[in-house]
Amino acid sequence: MAFDMKDYELGKRPLWAIAASLIIFIALAFFAMNCVAMGDGSRLLPIYSVETEEKEIAVTFNCAWSAEDIPEILEVLERYDAKATFFILGQWAKDNPSAVKMIADAGHEIGTHSNTHPDMAKLSPEEIRNELYRSCKYIEEAGGGKPKFFRAPSGSYSNELVKTAMEQGFMTIQWDIDSRDWKDVEPEKMTENVTKNAGKGSIILFHAGKENTLSALPAILEILDNSGYDFVGISELVYSENYTVDHTGRQYSFEQKK
């Protein structure tokens, strides 16, 4: 059949164009309904906290500075029967392999915090994949196992970052409670800030290599432990499938949203 430019006139679109538009619409609708990390229908969000009836909290540490306090941090965690998740920089793992192995041998989870701590929201997909690959290589070589979780440096993320990390098999994890140890907040204020704001399904952010972290950690764990909270690894807290994430970054299972 001959192609006629008149077919482009309003109201005279050819059937193939209508069918193509319908297919695109259905595909986009399917993606929007099934993308588990959608926050508002347009943004891909990391997980900041988890909806749960259990009194469980995830204690997490970013490892990008000194490793000198790792033995003492592990001792405090053991004292409170606390399992934590350590998000480790690839270069940190390369420089501190004994610390990585110490963390793994103590039964804690290890995630990746990138390889060189760039602003990954500004990277291309290829650069993101390279950061993730290299960081995991150094972590595995140090005896930390293969990470399943990723935390973006400085918490900076984009749709492309979350999507690319997901395609590489990583769940992107943020936090809803910032200890602010990276700002050298006084231990007493740090303790008050964390314990007053923590709740079921919270994810707490700490950093290894900061002076006041170790000073505040025992008091924080003591108060939360006395309040009936269990300290679990990220893999025990989050839902690995059949979940959705709301606009605040809180993760829900599909059952909870029914």
**How long, in residues, is the chain?**
258
The crossing angle, in degrees rounded to 10, of helices 187-197 and 211-226 is 40
Q: Are residues 55 and 87 in the same domain?
A: yes
The count of domains in the chain is 2
φ, ψ at 44 (rounded to 5°): -90, 125
Q: Does 39 fall in a domain?
A: no
Q: Are residues 104 and 220 in the same domain?
A: yes
Domain that holds residue 71: 49-253
**CA pair distance 23, 20, nearest whole angstrom:** 5
**Which residue in 254, 238, 197 sits closest to 56, CA to CA?**
238
pLDDT digits (tens), the chain, 258 positions = 333 433 333 344 455 444 444 444 434 333 333 344 555 456 799 999 999 999 999 999 999 999 999 999 999 999 999 999 999 999 999 999 999 999 999 999 999 999 999 999 999 999 999 999 999 999 999 999 999 999 999 999 999 999 999 999 999 999 999 999 999 999 999 999 999 999 999 999 999 999 899 999 999 999 999 999 999 999 999 999 999 999 999 999 988 876
Q: Does 63 fall in a domain?
A: yes
CB burial string 86-112: b at 16+ within 10 A, e below: bbbbbbbbbebbebbebbbebebbbbb
Q: Does 209 fall in a domain?
A: yes
Q: Does 41 fall in a domain?
A: no
Q: Are residues 86 and 123 in the same domain?
A: yes
Q: Are residues 88 and 56 in the same domain?
A: yes
Q: Are residues 22 and 68 in the same domain?
A: no
Q: Does 109 fall in a domain?
A: yes
pTM of the model: 0.84
CATH code of residue 246: 3.20.20.370
